[in-house]
């Protein structure tokens, strides 16, 4: 089940003399797909880090809700949220594609016998079956991106935060990713997608937000 992520007067900066996010007040609802765009360096990835709870606001709050109830424990949030980071290698923890996908199924989402076939199917879907036991450092940037996304795709009910999901992908895998997002919306529409390729997501997004250089959001 997905969650809503609520930014309440959120300010953030890495350095004292430059605000990155400036008093952001907005909700990322469980039932809406938001597309976030903006120039390089405006703070989109920083916003994603805050939404995923990996950075804390300097002031203000990021709160999480499921079915109208506030979630107070981080573990509850992490069971309902999946985050594809912009730097692909930051998403991968194991030595091989098979092991990395297996990690996504802990705590066990399926019986042992089922999880093997779930992993196999995902590897086939993303053309990684021949590389399932290949060390990750031998995979190309595009293959690593497919693997990182295949893990996220194992949990379509969760809220997805996707930071530049199309980078490194060829046309065929871009289309596969876009159709996976469309299929995910049948489970839950809750997504924050960060991209410069806004036209490719126009059929999926319920709302398009732009992060400006002053660290504030506007609607397209």
Q: Residue 80's binding partner, choosing from Mg ion, ligand ADP, none, with beta-carbon cut-off 5 to 8 A by kind? A: none
Distance in angstroms (rounded) separating the CA atoms of residues 198 and 11: 26
Residue pair 205/217 in contact (Cβ under 8 Å)? The answer is no
Distance in angstroms (rounded) separating the CA atoms of residues 207 and 37: 11
| 45 is a contact residue toward Mg ion (CB under 5 A) | yes
Nearer to ligand ADP, 143 or 163 (CB): 163
| 168 is a contact residue toward Mg ion (CB under 5 A) | no
Nearer to ligand ADP, 20 or 144 (CB): 20
Please state the closest distance from residue 164 (CB atom) to ligand ADP, in A: 8
Nearer to ligand ADP, 10 or 123 (CB): 10
Residue of minimal Cβ distance to Mg ion:
45
Q: Residue 195's binding partner, choosing from ligand ADP, Mg ion, none, with beta-carbon cut-off 5 to 8 A by kind? A: none
Nearer to ligand ADP, 45 or 132 (CB): 45
Distance in angstroms (rounded) separating the CA atoms of residues 93 and 135: 12
What DSSP designation does 92 have? -
Structure tokens at 150: 């295949």
Q: How many helices (H) and strands (E) does the chain have?
A: 6, 10
Q: Residue 82's binding partner, choosing from ligand ADP, Mg ion, none, with beta-carbon cut-off 5 to 8 A by kind? A: none
Distance in angstroms (rounded) separating the CA atoms of residues 148 and 88: 7
| 86 is a contact residue toward Mg ion (CB under 5 A) | yes
């Amino acid at each position: 089940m997905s969650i809503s992520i609520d930014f309440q007067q959120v300010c953030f900066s890495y350095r004292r003399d430059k605000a990155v996010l400036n008093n952001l007040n907005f909700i990322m609802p469980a039932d809406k797909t938001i597309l976030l765009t903006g120039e390089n360096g405006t703070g989109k990835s920083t916003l994603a880090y805050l939404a995923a709870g990996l950075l804390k606001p300097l002031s203000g709050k990021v709160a999480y809700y499921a079915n109208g109830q506030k979630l107070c424990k981080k573990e509850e949030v992490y069971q309902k949220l999946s985050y594809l980071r912009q730097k692909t290698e930051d998403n991968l923890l194991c030595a091989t594609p098979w092991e990395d996908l297996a990690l996504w199924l802990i705590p066990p989402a399926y019986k042992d016998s089922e999880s093997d076939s779930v992993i196999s199917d995902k590897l086939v879907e993303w053309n990684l079956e021949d590389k399932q036991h290949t060390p990750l450092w031998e995979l190309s940037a595009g293959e690593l991106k497919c693997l990182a996304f295949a893990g996220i795709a194992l949990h379509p009910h969760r809220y997805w935060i996707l930071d530049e999901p199309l980078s490194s992908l060829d046309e065929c895998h871009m289309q596969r990713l876009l159709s996976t997002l469309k299929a995910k919306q049948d489970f839950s529409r809750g997504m924050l997608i960060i991209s410069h390729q806004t036209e490719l997501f126009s059929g999926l997004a319920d709302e398009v937000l732009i992060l400006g250089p002053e660290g504030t959001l506007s609607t397209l």
